[in-house]
Amino acid sequence: MDKNDLLIELEQNQCLDLIKLYQANPSQHFYTLVEQLYTLRDEHELTTRISRFKTDVEKLTQSLNDFNVAPEQFKQIAQSLDLNQRTQKVIRFMQTQDNHIAFAKPVDLVMYGDSITEWGPWHDGIQGVTLANRGLSGDTTDGMKYRIESTTVCQPKLICMMAGINDLSQGYSVDEIMENYSQMLNYWHQRDIEVWVQSTLFVGQRLNELNPLVAQLNQGLIKLCNNTGAKYIDLNAVICPEGFLPLTCSADDLHLNSYAYGKWLSLLTPMLDDYFKHV
């Protein structure tokens, strides 16, 4: 869809269907699409809602005049946003950890990580193996270290993990991430649990400044696995062979679509089949 098509959508609808618009032009970055819609709406002084979802910013500013925000009001808005986002994230972390421990049952495999793991189709895509999904959106290696008991309470034979991109995007150093990895691997090895470290995936164009750090992190993970006996799985070889996450694999340069997860499973599933035949 070009700009004229998007303008027509804005003019003819009170509220847009972003999923429909993106699916009509999947070769475009989702962020670029939304930015174009905002720009066109402002240029043509339209009042169309961009989506049905109401953001915290929208809720906090709906009673204010467009550009007549006093410094004190702006400070209050910023504090309210920080409060809402911080408490929501911590509450979700605590409640997810609590539920994962309270309702745990013995499984063969634990998938451990952040949103990229949490949103994975593991139960549908991995057959013949009992598993628990212990991914948590927005989590870092520090958070994963904190909730690591939620993996061992399942008494798994194998843990497959991926982490690090949220750490890097939040400004944590590769050395800090490596220390957290080292502590987690040591924790599992002390409990005789097999661990497979899956490479931290590269990101797409919008986040491209992180990719040199991703490459550095993965080099460190290879060395750590060699030193500790953990298995290293290079997922970038099948999902990001050119050193970045392609548009065919993601709508937002970070999270994966079914095509990318299919590539992930095509590499991981035969390895799991072979492993569980011999344990």
What band does 118 get if pLDDT is binned at 50, 70 and 90? very high
Q: Is the pLDDT of residue 65 over 60?
A: no
Cβ(162)–Cβ(120) below 8 Å = no
Mean pLDDT score, 56-82 = 69
| C-alpha dihedral sign at 120, 124, 125, 129 | positive
Mean pLDDT score, 10-27: 88
Residue 84 binned pLDDT confidence (cut-offs 50, 70, 90): confident
Predicted confidence band of residue 22 (pLDDT cuts 50, 70, 90): confident
- What pLDDT sits at residue 276? 97
Per-domain residue ranges of the chain? 3-53, 104-277
Mean pLDDT computed over 153-168? 97
Q: Are 267 and 233 in contact (CB under 8 A)?
A: yes
Nearest to 254 by CA among 244, 264, 267: 244
Burial class from Cβ neighbours inside 10 Å (0-12, 13-18, 19+) for residue 239 reads buried
Angstrom distance (rounded) from CA 279 to CA 273 = 11
The mean predicted confidence, pLDDT, of the chain is 92
CA-based nearest residue to 139, from 162, 122, 155: 162
Q: Tens digits of per-residue pLDDT, 225-249?
A: 999 999 999 999 999 999 999 999 9
- State the pLDDT confidence band at 51, using cuts at 50, 70 and 90: confident
CATH T-level topology, domain 104-277: Rossmann fold (3.40.50)
Is residue 252 packed enough to be buried (19+ CB in 10 Å), middle (13-18) or exposed (0-12)? middle
